[in-house]
Structure formats: structure tokens, C-alpha cells
Amino acid sequence: MFITFEGIDGSGKSTQARMLADHLRANGRDVVLTREPGGSAGAEEIRRLVLEGDPDRWSAETEILLFTAARRDHLERVIDPALKAGKVVISDRFADSTRMYQGLSRGDLRGTVDRLHDMMIVREPDLTFLIDMEPETGLARAKGRNGTEERFEDFGAGLQARMREGFLALAAEFPARFRVIDGDRSPEMVAAEVAAIADRALA
């Protein structure tokens, strides 16, 4: 079972991915918790290239190649071997993030993202949690972390708003695997809903 968390920056994906991993491990499941961009040694190196520096450091087209290269390494070395071994893989972001951030943010490049995905990645999650919330709340939370990986946050609130709408449209496009979760509640309340859905899917 391959589970992903998606949503705008600061929506609580990392927090929820960790809480779901804890929940499933407590129930005796073998869980690999990972993230994108990154999740393997090579992909973590690419992470620094894409998340630090000026917003206009890379074009959207170059980013599609960098994120897809990172994902391919992550898939070959971490995700596919774990799924083959029968483990549950939980990833904080995956290909839906490229469909949104590179496919929608600077013109319509969704077709290019999908073609490269079909060629190099193919795999889709079995279950995707979209943690949905107001862009202002997400951006305030993300900025509150005060890190160096702020390249996409620095695109501003307009981008966050478009990404939110885009993710909701994506959930409607792939209703079989997407579950939309209201992220504007306590972490425990969100986690309880996520755990109930994951338990049903795994049963």
C-alpha cells in the first residue's frame, strides 16, 4: 500500500504523515515514512537545488526535470523495494505536487508533467490525503518555521491560493484515490480522521 499526503505549504502534511506512521506501527505494520523532494541520498541532494535560493532560479520546465529525476531515484531505491517487501510506504508529497507546482504555477505545463511521469515514474499512490485549508493559514504556518527551504513560499500567497484550487480539482479528477481532509483543526482531530480512512483501506 502506497499512501501520499498532498496540499499547500504549511497545511500539516509532515505532521500528519508522521502521526499516521506512528498509528500504523502501533498496530504492527511495517511502515516506511519518506518525503519528496528527497527520500533517497541522491534526491536529497537535488532537494537543496530546488528549494533554496531565488524563486526565479529555475524555469518551470527545468524544475519538471529536476523533480522527476529526484522522484525516479527515490522510487528505484526506496519506494519500489519497500512495496515489493510488503511494507506500507507513506510519502509526504509525490507526483501530484509536480502536477500542481510545475504544471500550473507558471503557465499550463500539465501535459509535459504527465508525459514525463508516464515515461519515467508511472506509479500512482493507492491512497492520497489532500490536507486542505485556507492559503493564508498555510503560508503563516510555513513561514513560522523560519527555515532556508523557502523558495516556493517566496512565490507568495497568490501561488498558494492557485495551488489550493488546483489540488481540489485534482482530487475531483482522481476520486478513487483522493480523500480531502479539512486541515484547519487540531492535529489530533485531523489524525483521527486520516487513521480511520487508512485503517479501512488496509483492511
Residue with cell 523495494: 81
In sequence order, the β-bridge partners of residue 2 are: 89
Minimum Å distance from CB 152 to ligand TYD?
3
Minimum Å distance from CB 166 to ligand TYD?
12
- Cα–Cα dist 32/25, whole Å: 10
In sequence order, the β-bridge partners of residue 89 are: 2, 32
What part of residues 96-155 is at the interface with ligand TYD (CB under 6 A)?
Answer: 97-98, 101-102, 142, 152
Minimum Å distance from CB 15 to ligand ADP?
3
**Contact range with ligand ADP by CB under 6 A, out of 6-14, 22-30, 117-125, 164-172:** 6-14
The string of DSSP letters for the chain reads -EEEEE-STTSSHHHHHHHHHHHHHHTT--EEEEESS-SSHHHHHHHHHHHSS-GGGS-HHHHHHHHHHHHHHHIIIIIHHHHHTT-EEEEES-HHHHHHHTTTTTS--HHHHHHHHHHHT----SEEEEEE--HHHHHHHHHHT--S--TTGGG-HHHHHHHHHHHHHHHHHSTTTEEEEE-SS-HHHHHHHHHHHHHHHH-
Q: Tell whether residue 67 is a contact of ligand TYD (CB under 6 A).
A: yes
The single residue among 45, 52, 145, 158 that binds ligand ADP, judged by CB under 6 A, is: 145
Q: Tell whether residue 187 is a contact of ligand ADP (CB under 6 A).
A: yes
Cβ closest to ligand ADP, residue 10 vs residue 103 = 10
Residue 35's identity, in one-letter code, is R
Minimum Å distance from CB 95 to ligand ADP?
17
Cβ closest to ligand ADP, residue 35 vs residue 109 = 35
**Contact range with ligand TYD by CB under 6 A, out of 8-16, 20-28, 128-136, 174-182:** 8-16
Q: Tell whether residue 37 is a contact of ligand TYD (CB under 6 A).
A: yes
Q: Could you list the residues that contact ligand ADP (CB under 6 A)?
A: 7, 9-15, 141-142, 144-145, 186-187, 190
Judged by the rule CB under 6 A, the positions of this chain that interact with ligand TYD are 9-10, 13-14, 36-37, 51, 67, 92-93, 97-98, 101-102, 142, 152
